[in-house]
A and B are shown apart, each in its own frame.
Chain A
Amino acid sequence: MNEPDTLGAGLAHSGVSRRSFLKFCTVMASLMALPPGAAQAMAAALSQAKRQSVIWLSFQECTGCVESLTRSFDPTLEQMIFEMISLDYQETLQAAAGEAAESARDEAMKSSYGKYLLIVDGSIPTKDGGVYSTVAGVSNHDRLIDAARGAAAIVAVGTCSSYGGIPHANPNPTGAVSVSDIIKDKPIMNVPGCPPIPSVIAGTLAYFVTYGKLPELDHIGRPKVFYADTIHDRCYRRPFYDQGKFAKTFDDEGARNGWCLYELGCKGPTTYNACATIKWNGGVSYPIESGHGCLGCSEPNFWDKGSFYRPLSTPLADNAHIIAAGTLGGIAAGAVAAGLSRKHQTHIGEEK
Chain B
Amino acid sequence: MNNLTHINVKVINPLPFQPAGLSGNADAILHEILALLEAFISTGQNGAIDLHSLPLTAADLELLRATLGDGEVSARIHVIGNTEVRETTYPGVWWLTYYSDEGNVVADLLEVTTVPEILKAPAEDVREGLVRLGDLLGATG
Contact = CB atoms under 8 A, between A and B. Distances in A.
Given A33-B53, A330-B14, A8 B124 contact: yes
A19 B79 contact: yes
Contacts of A17: 79, 122, 125
Interface stretch (A51-59, A61-69, A335-343): A335-343
Interface residues of B, number: 47
Interface in A315-345: 320-321, 323-324, 326-327, 329-335, 337-338, 341-342
B1 interface: no
A37 B118 contact: no
B54 A338 contact: yes
Given A23-B79, A27-B106, A342-B53, A40 B117 contact: yes
A282 interface: yes
A12 B106 contact: no
Interface in A251-288: 277, 282-284
Interface in B79-100: 79-81, 83, 98, 100
Contacts, number: 137
A112 interface: no
Interface string B1-41: 00000000111111111100011111110000000000000
Contacts of B15: 239, 337
B77 interface: yes
Contacts of B26: 334
A190 to B, nearest CB: 22
A333 to B, nearest CB: 5
Interface centre among A23, A74, A243, A283 (most CB of B within 10 A): A23
Contacts of A342: 53
A243 B27 CA distance: 26
Interface of B: 9-18, 22-28, 46, 48-50, 52-55, 77, 79-81, 83, 98, 100-102, 104-109, 111, 117-118, 122, 124-125, 128
A24 B79 CA distance: 10
Nearest to B48: A36
Interface string A12-30: 1000011110111011001
Contact of A20 (B17, B80, B128): B80
A263 B108 CA distance: 35
Contact of A324 (B9, B23, B24, B83): B9
A238 B17 CA distance: 12
A206 to B, nearest CB: 14
